[in-house]
Structure 1
Amino acid sequence: MDTDSSGSNGGDSPSEDADPVPDDLSEDFGSDEIDATGSGSVDDTGSESIEEMLLEFDEQAGLIRDRSLLDPNYIVEEDRIVGRGEQLQEVTKMLRVALGDNRPPNLFLYGPSGTGKSLITKAVCENISNICEQRDIRFGTIEVNCQDLNTLGIAVYELAERAATEAGVEVQVPKHGVATKEKWDDLYRIVDENFDSVVFVLDELDMLVGRRDKQEPAFSRLLYQLTRSGAIDDLDAHISVVAISNDTKMMESVGSRALSSFTPEDVHFDDYDANQLQAILRRRQDAFYDGVLSDDVIPLAAAFAAQTHGDARKAIDLMRVAGELAEREGDSSVGEEHVRNAQEKVEKNRVLEVVRGISTQKKLCLYATAAVADETDDGTARSTTGYQVYQFLTDTIGVDQYHQETYVNKMKELTTYSLVDFERRSHGPSSGMFLEFQFAERPDTILDTLREDSRIEMVSADEVQSVVKAQLRNET
């Protein structure tokens, strides 16, 4: 959870005010009309019961045959992995030494979200595990996503839990109330007693920052402890680390001690282009029944995903949501209109997922900047103009107001969510330097989502628009 220095963190979660039930509605519901099983009739006008509706929906001809293929996190067969031949070969070559009961090198996989980093790591490790089992080598893959882990102690406990689950044993220390060293000791105990070789897969590692009063981020300390585990005399198991990050500059924040012990092999994952995304979707189109996908579904879904950093997860999600929308509407096929509707829904859902966890101050910074971008021809926003709108918002709502430098820093922090990016600009000696922000999603989608926060919803959207237009006219 982000905590701002102003201490103003109220209103982060959208409030949902339930509408009161009209008095005349009570006449439509008799106490004996819905039994404990929910199979009674809702009213006496002949409408279907819940059970009847469920059975009717269940009997409808579905369009999706295998929903697992439309899950971006599902480990697909090797022939479905496309556009990543070079990276697949590199990761395979470096991790294959585990087949000889040797320690593989540490790896650092970096590149934009949805470019196959986690998919390839999981696929390679799963194949290694299968071969090692045949050779009586106890190989384990301990994977954790660091996005929701806020301290080093929690991260170590999570690794211990995952290792224990993989080995079919129990963790012997509590999650809270003990020193982190005790958690490390139990993690090493589980690994040493149950495995010959373990690969720790640390996904989105750069998100594990930890306490802000620590000079070294938590992910650096985690890397140091894991990669120096070979120096522990009573630890016989081989331990390797695969660090995965969207942040290409993550290694710059790793401390010198950790960097010295980690010394990874780097594997870069670049964006998928539209053709590669089409190939990925075509390898998964058998998730649908034959003949239900119209010809324009895959090219359109790939084109939408290519616009936002070539994200394969988004492309797969778009096709899944399009199919689900078509099913709910009772259509016999999935067409272009379903993909366009899915695009709007997926964009909003993604933005909502991001903004739910950020502070009110960050929401205000983001809202002000998106409001500016929504009014410009190229969809960008200058930091100087965004700050003027931010000041209007904070004055209107009555919350603490950051200085411009802090506003800029908060916007920079939001780049870690792949929601916004920036470039340093200047329009001549008289205008000075400023940052120009660009959005990965449509600014109007971001605005609509942020307005679900009750405090932001208090501010008139028309007033904000007027302020934005006035500030844009003042730009030099």
Structure 2
Amino acid sequence: MLLEFDEQNRLIRDRSLLDPTHVVEEDRIVGRDEQLQEVTKMLRVALGDNRPPNLFLYGPSGTGKSLITKAVCNNINRICESRDIRFGTIEVNCQDLDTLGVAVYELASRAADKAGVEVEVPKYGVATKEKWDELYRIINENFDSAVFVLDELDMLVGRRDKKEPAFSRLLYQLSRAGANDELTAHISVVAISNDTKMMESVGSRALSSFTPEDVHFDDYDANQLQAILRRRKDAFFDDVIDEDVIPLAAAFAAQTHGDARKAIDLIRVAGELAEREGDDRICEEHVREAQDKVEKNRVLEVVRGISTQKKLCLYATAAVAAETADGSARSTTGYRVYQFLTDSLDTDQYHQETYVNKMKELTTYSLVEFERRSHGPSSGMFLEFRFAEYPETILETLREDSRLDMVGHEEVKNVVRAQLRNQR
């Protein structure tokens, strides 16, 4: 069977170009000239005996923040090697780090990997200060200059009994260590976040020592997404992609917040579907099939593993987003729809704070994003949720749970519309 599949037409030539996390050459980076120049200009001082400034890169997911940072740091590393400068990029994704101590150990572990040495303290059972000391030791002994890249930093909240989030304490300690000579190497911190309001949660001490240069990343539009996909077209063999494939994949991705990762995933899945079906070309139908597959797979993967209460919170919020012109849902409105659902199903009903916390937890699956907002003194503060996929797809998937399907879809719509009228 393997040999039979091997003899079928192969359409994909270089799969690495269809991996959204793969660091590509600069000429493949599209629509980010300004951001590329800014990040390069500010980090290039690492090529000499100087400390680069700290950076805060913010904007929606899939807009090139991590890609540009990695590309610039890779170029700096190559030049530093030719100049006998020991440069390191210490990168961590904070999404799965639950405490400050775990984050510091992860930084030490990544630094040790880069340097080819061992971490000499355990991950658990020692004070966080010992982990900081070990991180400083590794950096000081093995690097002249280092950039700490903290991706999805806003996810590092830490224990709730602390007065400020763990990411604030991490920024404070790293930036202060460089100023207090605990680190003899020149270090810079690049904080990356989808939450444009993240810096508002940083404590005053951390903010005064971190003082970053801000670099904003907008959504990609359909034309930019097309250009990104055309720069990766050589991932496929020559003349196997129909002309309307790239514009359609870009249009789908542009509809869901201009996410380049989504566009690249779509065209990859379309190619894989065409290969599996034994077709000799990738056509529009493969892209449409890929769109359904990518959306439903992501949503199903999340929904199958979450609790009933999280499903209710997600359903209520998606129902609101499906009825708004811009696809957003206020936490205050979503909570009232959640109350209707729990009353209808005669199930436990939690306070609004718990509803908000459960929705925040769902951001770790990259299914929903939020921003803190206020529409004037009379409305107060609230969170505004936006979905990475179509809200309708999320609702359709959630209704596969027989209990949720007991509440009539039209009835929920009517409740949402009434709440939206009150919202105005």
TM-score, normalised relative to structure 1: 0.80
Residues 86-143 of structure 1, C-alpha deviations (whole Å, 9 max, x = no match): 1111111111111113211111111111111111110111111111111111000000
In 2: Cα distance, 1:210 partner to 1:313 partner: 28
Work out the CA distance in 2 between the residues paired with 1:352 and 1:77: 34
- Please tell me whether the aligned partners of residues 80 and 283 of structure 1 are also in contact (alpha carbons under 8 angstroms): yes
The residue correspondences of 1:212-251 to structure 2 (distance < 5 A) are: 212-233=160-181, 235-251=183-199
Counterpart pick for 1:89 among 20, 37, 41: 37
Instruction: Name the counterpart of 1:293.
Output: 241
* 1:205 equivalent in structure 2: 153
For the pair 1:264 / 2:212, whether they are aligned, the reply is yes
**Structure 1 pair 156/435, CA: closer, same or farther in 2 (3 Å)?**
closer
Contact map agreement 1:373 1:381 (CA 8 A) in 2: yes
Alpha-carbon spacing, 1:260–1:290, altered in 2? closer, same or farther (3 Å):
same
Q: Say which SS state the counterpart of residue 135 (structure 2) adopts.
A: helix
8 Å Cα contact 1:150-1:209 kept in structure 2: yes
Task: Provide the rounded CA distance (Å) in 1 between the counterparts of 2:55 and 2:152.
Answer: 14
- Per the alignment, residue 468 of structure 1 pairs with 412
Output the CA distance in 2 between the equivalents of 1:446 and 1:255. 36
Separation in 2 of the partners of 1:65 and 1:211?
Answer: 47
CA distance in 2 between counterparts of 1:166 and 1:109 reads 23
User: Which residue of 2 is the match for residue 459 of structure 1?
Assistant: 403
- Name the SS of the counterpart of 2:61 in structure 1: coil
Does 2:99 match 1:151?
yes
Q: One-letter code of the match for 2:403?
A: V
Distance 2:135 2:380 in 1: 53
Note if 1:280 corresponds to 2:228: yes
Equivalent position SS for 2:338: helix
Distance 1:357 1:149 in 2: 20
Asked if the contact 1:294–1:334 (Cα under 8 Å) also holds between the matched residues in 2, the reply is: yes
Query: Any residues of structure 2 matched to 1:125-140 within 5 Å, and which?
Result: 125-140=73-88
Q: Would you say the 8 A contact 2:42–2:53 is kept in 1? A: yes
1:228 partner SS: helix
Pick from 10, 18, 22: which aligns with 1:74?
22
Is residue 348 from structure 1 mapped to residue 292 from structure 2 by the alignment? no
Structure with bigger helix share is 2
Q: Residues of 2 paired with 1:268 and 1:98: CA distance?
A: 22
Q: TM-score with structure 2 length normalisation?
A: 0.89
Distance 1:141 1:383 in 2: 38
Structure-2 change in CA distance of 1:441 and 1:122 (3 Å): same
Which residue of structure 2 lines up, in the alignment, with residue 419 of structure 1?
A: 368
Deviation at 1:462, TM superposition (A): 5.0
Q: Distance in 2 between matches of 1:440 and 1:183?
A: 36
**Structure 2: which amino acid aligns with 1:251?**
M
- CA pair 373-287 structure 1, distance change in 2 beyond 3 A: same
Match of 1:402, SS? coil
Judging changes above 3 Å, is the alpha-carbon distance between structure 1 residues 424 and 192 closer, same or farther for their aligned structure 2 residues? closer
Tell me if 1:107 matches 2:48: no
Shift in CA distance, 306/258, structure 1 to aligned 2, threshold 3 Å: same
Coordinate RMSD, CA, aligned: 3.0
What runs of 5+ residues in structure 2 fail to find an aligned partner?
A: none
> Which letter does structure 2 place at the counterpart of 1:72?
P
**Farther-moved stretch of structure 1 (195-204 vs 397-406):** 397-406
Judged with a 3 Å threshold, the aligned counterparts in structure 2 of structure 1 residues 232 and 318 are, in CA distance, closer, same or farther, namely same
> Is the Cα contact below 8 Å between 2:299 and 2:367 reproduced in 1?
no
Percent of pairs with identical residues:
81
- Select which of 117, 127, 130 maps to 1:169: 117
- Cα deviation for residue 234 of structure 1 reads 5.5
Contact 2:62–2:260 under 8 Å retained in 1: yes
1:362 offset after TM fit, Å?
2.9
Contact 1:278 1:299 in 2 (8 A): yes
* Aligned equivalents of 2:327, 2:59: Cα separation in 1: 24
Answer yes or no: is the 8 Å Cα contact 2:337–2:416 preserved in 1: no
Other-structure match for 2:90: 142
1:163 to 1:445, Cα distance in 2 relative to 1, 3 A: same
* CA 1:347–1:84: 2 relative to 1, 3 Å: same
Q: Cα–Cα, structure 1 residues 438 and 254, in superposed 2: closer, same or farther, change >3 Å?
A: closer
Given that 2:368 and 2:385 are in contact with CA atoms closer than 8 Å, whether structure 1 keeps it comes out as no
The answer as to whether partners of 1:389 and 1:464 remain within 8 angstroms in 2 is: no
1:346 Cα shift? 1.6
| Counterpart-to-counterpart distance in 2, 1:127 and 1:420 | 32
Aligned CA distance change for structure 1 residues 105 and 402 (closer, same or farther; 3 Å): same
Total equivalences in the alignment: 417
1:367 aligns with 2:311: no
Q: In the TM superposition, what is the alpha-carbon distance from 1:444 to its structure 2 partner?
A: 2.9
Q: Which of structures 1 and 2 has the bigger CA Rg?
A: 1
Unaligned runs of 5+ in 1: 1-52
1:348 and 1:449 in contact (8 A); partners too: yes
Query: Residue 152 of structure 1 contacts residue 219 of structure 1 at CA under 8 Å; is this kept in 2?
Result: yes
Give distance in 1, aligned partners of 2:388 and 2:222: 16
Q: Could you tell me how far 1:433 is from its partner in structure 2?
A: 11
